[in-house]
Amino acid sequence: MCGIVGLLVKNQNMRANIGELMLPMLIGMTERGPDSAGLAIFGAPVDASARKFSLYSADASLDWNKLGSELNAALKTSAKLEVKVNHAVLTTNVSPDTVKAWVKQAYPQVHLLAVGQLMDIYKDTGTPAQVASRYDFSKLSGSHLVGHTRMATESAITPSHAHPFTAGEDWCLVHNGSLSNAHSIRRKLEHEAFPSRPITIPKLPAASCNGACVKVTICKPRWNMALTSWMVSTPC
């Protein structure tokens, strides 16, 4: 059992307060998800040639400034780094594949949470109120967001198991519930050449969001064979 919240702020004058507006919604889902919490926030886009990388380190003592300096020297760039506790948002015009390869080799303990021009992801263990306070959710600004509170059912309580997950550039996914036939569905999708990745045993995808609007769905296009499809979309 988990809690899912979504907020689209159409009034541009109120977008600076989206974090404050969202906070009571997220904390209100505590009983449905007291183990961990997180959100994906969509703000102003970076330059067309640039990308933002949401990074996470389980080691709170990681020297993010050192990471940034070493990346700039190795990739001959001038990346911008914004640090919040054990999360950081790296902005650079270096290609995503190059940045991913460098981080994996130089800092294998650092996890890449998301890539895009609009979206940042923050997630961690703790109650929604604790996570929100840790990362100053109330001060976030943007046009829309998707939040999640988790009650673990079949897997561990860790930051990597917290939601949202990423499903592509500027695309996040959260879910609620479990599939009892997850392995048979995976075998079926693999047989249909659906790409398989070493992720948590799949559960029912319940909410996803791209850069255009907040959408709620339990189906990705390639999964139509296995899951009933429906969608509820807010006006864009």
CA separation for the pair 70, 133 (Å, rounded): 30
pLDDT confidence of residue 204:
39
Q: What is the DSSP string of 34-51?
A: -SEEEEEEE-S---TT-E
pLDDT confidence of residue 179:
65
Mean pLDDT computed over every residue of the chain = 83
By the 8 A CB rule, do 91 and 48 touch?
A: no
Q: pTM to 2 decimals?
A: 0.77
Residue with the bigger pLDDT between 60 and 170: it is 170
pLDDT confidence of residue 226:
32
Has residue 110 got a pLDDT over 80? Answer: yes
Reported as type and span, the H/E element at residue 54 is strand 51-57
Q: For the segment 161-207, what is each residue's pLDDT rounded down to a tens digit?
A: 999 999 789 999 998 877 677 788 888 888 876 655 544 433 434 44
CA separation for the pair 165, 173 (Å, rounded): 5
Closest C-alpha to 167, from 131, 126, 211: 211
Question: How far from 85 is each of 33, 60, 82, 100, CA to CA, in Å?
Answer: 22, 7, 10, 21
Marked catalytic residue, from 2, 172, 213, 219: 2
CA separation for the pair 100, 98 (Å, rounded): 6
Residue with the bigger pLDDT between 40 and 210: it is 40
For residue 195, count other CB atoms closer than 10 A to its CB. 7
CA separation for the pair 34, 16 (Å, rounded): 27
For residue 58, count other CB atoms closer than 10 A to its CB. 13
Assess whether 172 carries a catalytic annotation: no
**Band of pLDDT at residue 233, cut at 50, 70 and 90:** very low
Return the CATH architecture of domain 2-44+118-233: 4-Layer Sandwich (3.60)
CA separation for the pair 204, 145 (Å, rounded): 20
pLDDT confidence of residue 80:
96
